[in-house]
């Protein structure tokens, strides 16, 4: 591993296997090992070489972990070549985040230059590397509307470290994983006392997670808010290439209506994103009929559909709350706020739109919903509704929780077929339930439709790529977890503290070295 070329290859390999740490693999040890390889490769590298290694790691990681995005292009009449090229371009751009992390780390730790005390410098790395890695992951999920996929915190969902999510969110889980990786990476490079301390801290993090899991930390923050609500989740399994044909649209409406009618007794019925594949104004008779059925059976229907606001001229990806013929005209809406770049909206319109048109890529998009929207009510409770991509942004979901007694997420992952994409998406949705201490009701077109406990566990699910329903008594909850209260603030404060410690460790080492007599 002394040759820079071989270290570069190791970074590519470490990035390429990182996707195995996420669902459906869930091998958390891969996340630790992959980060440890990158951290070790950065430690003695020059800033330029470190940037290159970080970029190789990121390009391989995002390329292997996000290849499934190319599956969606087949429904936009884009060939496999351009689809692969666009997905690869996305991976290359996202790779700039680990590249900048590696460059900043090499600059701080003095890699490739005269190091006053290599072991003391490595000791600074024990604090610097996990803090800076987590900071750049937070930036990736925040800047330019954010992209949260494959943040390492999600890889810890099946581990004891997940217990930190209700306290400080998925980034706290990722920080703990990165701290473990740093202690592994710097074995033999730092002073023994520093290594022992790092291993002890990592051990305490894992042991603390186990203790918190046994105590069920969410129980101290949330309490029952009434009797369980009978929920019916409907999964229509409408093929994506049929969904937007006129025949497919009518068949979808019939299927969802029939599946719902077969299972009376629910208080809340949830249909997936765009289960009603029309603009509301074009299908008012169906909405009124759905309202009559809801009123007669005594439930509230929460269904995805498209809507249009004549006043603003905006089209929206929405969820309608329908409980009577009157509520269906017009329905009570939630409009999606966090839109998918290049799919639901075109960022940097003036620059990118001409290229998109040349690629025959749609440039029209939806308007984002208002930042403040009244909650939908169903089953006698406020419901925190999110649509598809929105569930991947923990701080946004926490900010909008309000007094909601449960979470409802609707999605349509049929775009991505039988790939890892829907599994990764569901993993992120489960993290939201854990962070906020709420039951999550999730309805999707082709899967994964499920009921998730406040501990992030799957209580029940509908088999993927099958039409079916799920009936479950969901306990409403009230109260706020630490993450619901403070969102990402605690982990950002902790990152700042770790960076300060790293700076002090490095500064002390340099003072000590400078005080030594020169030969």
Out of 11, 71, 267, 336, pick the active-site residue: 336
**Tokens of residue 450, six digits:** 């499920």
Beta-strand relationship, 406-411 and 381-387? parallel
Q: What are the start-end ranges of the H helices in 110-191? A: 118-140, 165-168, 170-185
336 annotated active-site: yes
- Which residues are CB-contacts of 372 (< 8 A; sequence separation ≥ 6)? none
Query: How many Cα atoms sit within 13 Å of 128 on the Cβ side?
Result: 26
Sheet containing 376-378: order of strands = 376-378, 381-387, 406-411, 440-444, 450-452, 458-461
DSSP-assigned states of every residue in 46-81: -HHHHHHHHHHHHHHHHHHHSGGGGGGGGGGT--HH
Burial class (CB in 10 A: 0-12, 13-18, 19+), 173: buried
* Distance spanning both ends of the chain, measured CA to CA: 32
Q: Tell me the torsion sign for CA atoms 98, 100, 102, 104.
A: negative
Out of 388, 390, 435, 455, pick the active-site residue: 388
φ, ψ at 102 (rounded to 5°): -65, -40
Residue with tokens 């969904």: 243
Give the other-Cβ count within 10 Å of 516's Cβ: 9
For residues 162 and 209, is the Cβ–Cβ distance under 8 A? yes
Give the other-Cβ count within 10 Å of 435's Cβ: 31
- Taking the CA atoms of the chain, what radius of gyration do you get in angstroms? 25
Q: What are the start-end ranges of the H helices in 273-420? A: 284-297, 349-358, 394-399
Out of 71, 273, 435, 455, pick the active-site residue: 273
Q: What are the start-end ranges of the H helices in 264-405? A: 284-297, 349-358, 394-399
H or E segment at 193? helix 192-215
Determine the Cα–Cα distance for residues 380 and 352; give it in Å rounded to an integer. 45
Report the greatest alpha carbon distance in the chain: 93
Residue positions annotated with a catalytic role: 273, 336, 388
């Amino acid at each position: 591993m002394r040759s820079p070329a071989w270290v570069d290859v190791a970074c590519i390999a470490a990035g390429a296997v990182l996707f195995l740490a996420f669902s459906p693999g869930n091998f958390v040890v891969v996340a630790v090992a992959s980060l440890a390889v990158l951290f070790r490769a950065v430690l003695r590298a020059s800033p330029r070489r470190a940037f290159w290694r970080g970029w190789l790691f990121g390009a391989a990681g995002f390329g292997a972990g996000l290849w499934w995005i190319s599956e969606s292009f087949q429904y936009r009449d884009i060939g496999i070549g351009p689809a692969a090229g666009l997905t690869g371009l996305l991976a290359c751009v996202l790779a700039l985040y680990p590249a900048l992390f590696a460059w900043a780390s090499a600059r701080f730790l003095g890699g490739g230059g005269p190091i006053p005390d290599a072991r003391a410098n490595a000791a600074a790395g024990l604090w610097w590397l996990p803090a800076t890695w987590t900071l750049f992951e937070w930036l990736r999920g925040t800047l330019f509307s954010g992209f949260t996929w494959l943040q390492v915190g999600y890889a810890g969902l099946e581990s004891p470290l997940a217990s930190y999510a209700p306290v400080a969110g998925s980034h706290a889980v990722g920080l703990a994983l990165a701290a473990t990786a740093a202690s592994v990476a710097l074995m033999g490079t730092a002073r023994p006392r520093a290594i022992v301390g790092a291993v002890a801290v990592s051990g305490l993090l894992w042991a603390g997670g186990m203790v918190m899991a046994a105590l069920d930390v969410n129980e101290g923050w949330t309490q029952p808010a009434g009797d369980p609500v009978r929920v019916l989740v409907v999964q229509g399994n409408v093929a994506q290439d049929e969904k937007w044909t006129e025949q497919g649209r009518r068949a979808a409406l019939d299927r969802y209506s029939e599946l719902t009618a077969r299972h009376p007794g629910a208080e809340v019925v949830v249909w997936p994103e765009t289960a009603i594949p029309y603009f509301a104004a074009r299908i008012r008779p169906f909405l009124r009929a759905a309202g009559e059925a809801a009123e007669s059976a005594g439930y509230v229907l929460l269904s995805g559909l498209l809507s249009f606001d004549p006043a603003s001229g905006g089209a929206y990806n929405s969820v309608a709350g329908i409980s009577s013929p009157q509520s269906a005209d017009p329905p009570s809406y939630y409009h999606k706020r966090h839109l998918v770049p290049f799919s639901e909206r075109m960022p940097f319109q003036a620059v990118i739109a001409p290229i998109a048109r040349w690629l025959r890529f749609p440039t029209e998009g939806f308007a984002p919903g208002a930042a403040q929207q009244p909650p939908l009510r169903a089953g006698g409770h406020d419901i925190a509704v999110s649509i598809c991509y929105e569930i991947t942004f923990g701080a946004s979901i926490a900010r909008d929780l309000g007094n909601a007694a449960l979470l409802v997420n609707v999605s349509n992952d049929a775009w991505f077929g039988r790939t890892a994409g829907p599994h990764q998406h569901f993993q992120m949705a489960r993290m939201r339930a854990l962070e906020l201490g709420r039951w999550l009701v999730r309805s999707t077109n082709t899967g994964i439709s499920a009921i998730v406990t406040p501990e992030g566990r799957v209580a029940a699910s509908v088999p993927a790529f099958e039409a079916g329903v799920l009936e479950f008594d969901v306990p409403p909850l009230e109260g706020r977890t630490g993450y619901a209260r403070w969102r990402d603030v605690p982990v950002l404060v902790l990152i700042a503290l770790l960076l300060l410690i790293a700076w002090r460790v490095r500064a002390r080492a340099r003072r000590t070295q400078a005080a030594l007599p020169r030969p």
